[in-house]
Amino acid sequence: MTAKKIRVLIVDDSAVFVNFLTKELPQANARIEIVGYAMSAAEAMRKIPDTKPDVITLDVEMPRMNGIDFLKELLPRHLIPVILVSSLNVSVFDALSNGAVDFVKKPDMSKNYTTRAFAQGLATKILIASNATVKLPRVFGGSSALKKDAPGSTKGFGTIGGMGGTGMGAGVIGGTGNAGMGAGSVGGMVNAATNATTIGNSFQKPVLSPLMPTKLHNNNSLKLNNLIIALGASTGGTEATLQVLERLPADIPGMVITQHMPEGFTEMYAQRLNRLCKMEVKEAVNGDVVKRGRVLIAPGGDCHMKVVRLGGHYTVRVFPAEKVNGHRPSVDVLFKSVAETARSEAVGIILTGMGQDGAYGLLDMHNAGAYTIGQDKESCVVYGMPMVAQNIGAVSIQSSCVNIPAVLINYLNKL
């Protein structure tokens, strides 16, 4: 039986790039069918009812209406998975906060080897996106989440996002983005985490309730000083990771994170998290110490990151190597190193993502005595990595993304 075509609408103001995608994407994967293109956001909105795309590729930086404003107008009407195509620009994270499923870095069009690899990578992301769960932006009342003790911040409370310096995240609404899906496919579903309701083709924007404080009771515990929290994520993970970190206290045990992301974007992502969360967040460099109140993000590009023991403390080793499970950095590389070095003095968290990267590393952590948490299907953009981890017995407990911080803190408070 022939697999159903994935209908793709290209939204980009560059005629050269539109022509490139129109030619190369179907060659990269025969399931992809280009059903149209739009040179502006307004043109795209007009064409969507007729072209009925399953996936949209979207240039973030467009004149008149940019990608972020386009998403705000698009998703309430059409729950269609959107993949961002962006240059090295921090605005991509604002667009992800507003409901985009994933992103790719625009290639250097003067280099054939770069464009070929780009087309293949984007084609793979389109296939993943066609089965992804669309997330709508969270809406909330009151003051925005502010960094640490910034003026007007509310200390001791898990922060609740906001866009563009205030950390808007994604509330779970929307079914899968399978071929032929429209807004009407999400009918009458209520999400308990956000109190969001969708009815037919319309929806009520989710309003988040204030979260209870997430505090560590045994603050001076030696166990917490020696404990490592390792987190891994892929598609949908930028916002899922933010949802977890923004609700954690400043004195959280040292954390190490691998998020599948292109080179250059991880530094901007770490800077964004550092502004929005209570703890220090930075892109890791070789030799960085893992310590309480610090989160280290594996750099995207040509290296993996692992944890090593150096005397009485843990550090990270960032090193070049071949891809593992098709990824670099790989979540499995990180998790397996934590299993070997920290053993039972660790917590592993696996979030949304396609494939199985991290699942077997989490199993190693679980078998070494670590406490392991998997994101549940309902709150995942793509229930792949957490599903494999659950199926092979690597997960101690499953939880929705919004509840993972409470699950983690409850465990830590019992140590």
Radius of gyration from C-alpha coordinates of the chain: 21
Place of tokens 């994520």: 233
Q: Looking at 149-153, 159-163, 364-368, which range is the least confident one?
A: 159-163
Q: Catalytic pick from 234, 330, 379, 400?
A: 234
| Three-state SS letters, 14-48 | CHHHHHHHHHHHHHHCCCEEEEEEECCHHHHHHHH
The pLDDT assigned to 237 comes to: 96
Q: Catalytic pick from 260, 304, 327, 366?
A: 260
Residues 302, 321: Cα–Cα separation, whole Å: 7
Q: Catalytic pick from 12, 54, 332, 357?
A: 357
Q: What is the DSSP letter of 191?
A: E
**234 noted as active-site residue:** yes
Place of tokens 């199993």: 363
Q: Sign of dihedral through CA atoms 25, 31, 35, 40?
A: negative
Specify which residues 106 forms β-bridges with: none
pLDDT for 80-94, tens place per residue?
Answer: 999 999 887 778 999
The pLDDT assigned to 139 comes to: 46
pLDDT for 185-230, tens place per residue?
Answer: 223 233 333 333 332 333 333 334 434 547 898 777 889 999 999 9
The pLDDT > 90 percentage for the chain reads: 70
The pLDDT assigned to 115 comes to: 87
Sequence-distant (≥ 6) Cβ neighbours of residue 77 within 8 angstroms: 183, 201
- Average pLDDT score over the chain: 83
| Confidence check: pLDDT of 392 > 80 | yes
**260 noted as active-site residue:** yes
The pLDDT assigned to 212 comes to: 52
Q: Which two tokens stand for residue 234?
A: 């892929």
Angle subtended at Cα 297 by Cα 286 and Cα 352, rounded to the nearest 5 degrees: 140
In the chain, where the domains are located: 6-132, 222-413
Dihedral over alpha carbons 203, 208, 209, 214 (to 10 degrees): 150
Chain centroid to CA 86: how far? 16
Please, what's the b/e burial string for 152-186 (b: 16 or more CB within 10 A of its CB; e: otherwise)? ebeeebbbbbbbeebbbbbbbbbebbebebebeeb
The pLDDT assigned to 395 comes to: 98
Distances (CA, A) of 370 to 222, 229, 305, 336: 17, 10, 19, 12
Fold of 6-132: Rossmann fold (3.40.50)
At residue 38, what are phi and psi to the nearest 5 degrees?
-140, 140
| Confidence check: pLDDT of 145 > 50 | no
What length does the chain have?
A: 415
Residues 208, 196: Cα–Cα separation, whole Å: 9
pLDDT for 107-121, tens place per residue?
Answer: 877 766 678 889 999
The pLDDT assigned to 140 comes to: 30
SS3 call for 272: helix
| Confidence check: pLDDT of 283 > 70 | yes
Residues 171, 6: Cα–Cα separation, whole Å: 26
Distances (CA, A) of 213 to 66, 107, 155, 320: 36, 44, 9, 40
Mean pLDDT score, 51-70: 92
| Beta strands per DSSP E along 205-345 | 207-208, 228-233, 255-259, 280-283, 289-290, 294-297, 303-310, 313-320
Residues 186, 84: Cα–Cα separation, whole Å: 23
* Among the listed residues 400, 409, 336, the one whose alpha carbon sits nearest the alpha carbon of residue 366: 336
The pLDDT assigned to 62 comes to: 85
pLDDT for 306-352, tens place per residue?
Answer: 999 998 899 999 999 999 999 999 999 999 999 999 999 999 999 99
Sequence-distant (≥ 6) Cβ neighbours of residue 201 within 8 angstroms: 77, 182, 183, 184
Mean pLDDT score, 116-139: 89
Q: What is the DSSP letter of 175?
A: E
> Helices (DSSP H) in 246-310: which residue ranges?
265-276
Architecture of domain 222-413: 3-Layer(aba) Sandwich (3.40)
pLDDT for 228-281, tens place per residue?
Answer: 999 999 999 999 999 999 999 999 999 999 999 988 899 999 999 999 999 999
Angle subtended at Cα 169 by Cα 167 and Cα 173, rounded to the nearest 5 degrees: 160
Residues 82, 57: Cα–Cα separation, whole Å: 6
Mean pLDDT score, 172-182: 33
pLDDT for 287-308, tens place per residue?
Answer: 999 999 999 999 999 999 999 9
pLDDT for 11-46, tens place per residue?
Answer: 999 999 999 999 999 999 999 999 999 999 999 999
How many Cα atoms within 13 Å fall on the side-chain side of residue 275? Answer: 16
The pLDDT assigned to 256 comes to: 98
The DSSP bridge pattern shows strands 170-176 and 133-137 to be antiparallel
